[in-house]
Amino acid sequence: MRQVFIIMGKEWRDGMRNRWVLATTALLAALALTLAFLGSAPTGAVKTGALAVTIVSLSSLTIFLIPLIALLLSYDAIVGEIDRGTMALLLSYPVARWQVVFGKFFGHLAILGFATVIGYGFAGLALQLAGNDNSDAWSAFVFMIGTSALLGGVFIAIGYFISALVRDRGTAGGIAIGVWLFFVLLYDMALLGGLVVDQGRNVTPQMLNVLLLLNPADVYRLLNLTTSNDVSGFAGVAGLGAGAGLGPWTLMGALAAWMVAPLAASVALFARRQV
């Protein structure tokens, strides 16, 4: 495990040197603060309802932004090192290929997790200072930060799978953007269109559950918009989440599986790849 931590530290230092950590944290903090205080406008003050609206708004922002940042961090993690010739040098040291993948993964996850906790936490602190102290909403806010980092881990793992699969950085970048568009935009549009056309004839509730679990962005949305009573009242998909019958442990397990499966596949692909 020592090699994993060494590589993880290198990725963190590279992120600091390239301003990834600072830029991502500043971006998330600025957007979170904007949404937090715009969210209080309908109620006229930052109260319980305002924090719930903020969680809904930040959850929607996270679905678009965190996967994109995660894929940009990770799409060339393997293929980029091979193209530059640094991977061959790294593997000349006493380090296993799985240790390289895990070390780089945890380094990128640390960068994104730090940016998410500090960026969103700064907005939460501002709301606290403004007088919002509802315990149920605050527990949902903390839960949202944790699951946002987990969603980032899912798309970092997907980025590693892409990076281990292709032969050049350009192809990896194109596939990463396609993956982001599919999971964030196209999948839900296709699912909604299919449900409208079907009119409940063939798509059963159990089939809908499976379809929702096949998209990590939908899993994240249901986790954050339906597990808190204070938040679900403001969430347009609260009724869908309640009807789906997917409990929080099922959703958390699905999100974890979405992270583990592509990471394991990337380790397997990299183990057989010629460097």
Q: What is the pLDDT of residue 245?
A: 62
pLDDT over threshold 70, residue 250? yes
Domain count for the chain, please give it: 1
Q: Predicted confidence band at 264 (pLDDT cuts at 50, 70, 90)?
A: very high
pLDDT tens for residues 203-229?
Answer: 777 888 888 899 999 999 888 877 665
pLDDT tens for residues 34-45?
Answer: 877 775 554 444
- Tokens at residue 198, please? 């079907």
Q: What is the pLDDT of residue 220?
A: 92
List the domain range (segments joined by +) for residue 262: 2-271
pLDDT over threshold 50, residue 241? no
pLDDT over threshold 70, residue 132? no
pTM above 0.85? yes
Tell me how long the chain is.
Answer: 275
Q: Predicted confidence band at 161 (pLDDT cuts at 50, 70, 90)?
A: very high
Q: Sort 206 into a burial class: Cβ within 10 Å, 0-12 / 13-18 / 19+.
A: exposed
> In the chain, what percentage of residues exceed pLDDT 70?
85
- Tokens at residue 118, please? 């500090």
The vertex-57 CA angle with 189 and 68, nearest 5°, equals 60
SS3 46: coil
